[in-house]
Structure 1
């Protein structure tokens, strides 16, 4: 079997992108995956398998780790943020081969994704969405059974802007990373550097070569900018006993959690809706900005016209059944006529 074919099989590369291996994999990385042959290895074992020094093996593994060709493991458990090949208890770290699904984050967000033909990118983005949907399906089923129980999933709830900012305020470490969904799908022109990682999420993200660390104030300004750009804040509400990881700033055209929700028949349950918009008709000027901001069509024109302060305007109507409680309409309303009402929790 040719070396490239071995790599394609071991790294579980979809057929559509197989002809473009050289775009996303370096020769040393290909040799590493083939040498590991699906097994978890120590630095010494990689040194022996590739007939290189331990220092060379360490450098190669660190490079491969940051490019998502391998994961770190301690005592059979995949780990994230650790120092100098040992965790805080001094146990040795081993490396487990990743697969192409894991490589896609770095490739689409910071790699040479645009060097791959557009039709292949589209096919792989759809494949990625399907893989993601299958991966989260069991957890989403648990959420359907008990929405209030803690589930280890990153985009569980729609967050209001104030809730997102409160998480930023509560965190000690902050990072911003490109949105993998928008980077790969390229479905709209909204902000790319928009996903927020906090505390352990920030440590892990930066260590893996994704994103950049920012100050708390910088982080708040980025969140405010995403809100102005019409992005919805989706993460997990702060839960006692569980640390922060971060949240994403999403659009319906690109973002996997929102698109997967329809496939998994989890409307309003995952991501979970906690609020409903409420409009003060007397204050509303029917400017229509809420129509442009709402990605679910909850605000729309019904064909009628109104006289507002001597000017004729198209009437804006609100359909509460289409509201997902993201709050984007409220933060963009120049008249301040919209607020968010908490829904009763189950």
Structure 2
């Protein structure tokens, strides 16, 4: 097996991406992965293995680019190779991802979504029982005021691009919108630091642009905040996976349901534009309002995910969010 073939097998590179490998990795990085194989190495071990070709600066670069991972065990730092899915996620957020042809990006998105399904194997448990929240991310769908409270409880905040939206590219909604807090900020988060007020401004902007707020962990008031993602149903992997697996309401956890008061509805249609799940819709009938006939708006609670985007845009207070789970 050649060095390149060995790298492709070790790094789990999909066949269709092989002609574009140069966009993701350098030859020196390929050589490093091939030399390391599936073993863990200390810094000294890597120095013995690679000699003068390896420097701490090069290792740090590989770590930041998610070619390798490192972990401290019993006070000793160990290095291990990552894989293409991990490198792909990093590259989509911080690399020159859009030099790839559109058809390859589309195939990559489907491949990454498939890898996402494999990585997060708790979907069946979520369907059958209550989710194991220790292993779930994007636990809760939050209303805007709750997300702002989440921000207020934090000590450190960084914003990073939404990897889902960068990969999928199914809509033109804002991309630098995912917030990391406190313990979720690592030495390779590579985001932009925000104040609490800047983070809340970003949340409000995201909300205006039609992005839903999901956050974790579910018990953030006890253990502290971790992540807020500002999501759309067309790009974001948690929502796409939830729709495929049928985990609506269970994961991400819905705690609210919109209540639609047709008497107050002035037929502006903003709720239809805002709802990403078609819970608000034109029902095919008409009614008279202020001496004029208008198309009537219907609401299907079975399709509501409880995100609140319809309620906070209704100019007449015709939609209110009602809590359906008091435990979360």
RMSD: 1.9
Q: 2:110 aligns with which of 101, 108, 126?
A: 126
Task: State whether structure 2 residue 198 is matched by structure 1 residue 218.
Answer: yes
How many residues are treated as equivalent by the alignment?
326
Task: State whether structure 2 residue 94 is matched by structure 1 residue 113.
Answer: no
SS, match of residue 193 in structure 1: coil
Q: What displacement does 1:214 show? A: 1.2
**Counterpart position of 1:28:** 28
**Counterpart position of 1:80:** none
TM-score if structure 2 supplies the norm length?
0.93
Query: What is the rounded CA distance, in whole Å, between the counterparts of 1:188 and 1:325 in structure 2?
Result: 21
**Counterpart position of 1:256:** 237
**Counterpart position of 1:308:** 289
Q: What displacement does 1:345 show? A: 5.8
Query: What is the rounded CA distance, in whole Å, between the counterparts of 2:258 and 2:155 in structure 1?
Result: 32
Query: What is the rounded CA distance, in whole Å, between the counterparts of 2:132 and 2:188 in structure 1?
Result: 30
**Counterpart position of 1:70:** 68
Query: What is the rounded CA distance, in whole Å, between the counterparts of 2:224 and 2:59 in structure 1?
Result: 29
Query: What is the rounded CA distance, in whole Å, between the counterparts of 2:62 and 2:289 in structure 1?
Result: 61
**Counterpart position of 1:159:** 142
**Counterpart position of 2:212:** 232
1:1-346 map, 5 Å: 1-52=1-52, 57-75=55-73, 91-137=75-121, 139-147=122-130, 150-201=133-184, 203-204=185-186, 207-236=187-216, 237-239=218-220, 241-344=222-325
Structure 1 gaps of 5+ residues are: 77-90
Query: What is the rounded CA distance, in whole Å, between the counterparts of 1:187 and 1:29 in structure 2?
Result: 31
Query: What is the rounded CA distance, in whole Å, between the counterparts of 1:35 and 1:304 in structure 2?
Result: 69
Whether the 8 Å CA contact 1:43–1:61 is kept in 2: the answer is no
Of stretches 284-293 and 117-126 in structure 1, the one that deviates more from structure 2 is 117-126
Q: What displacement does 1:226 show? A: 0.7
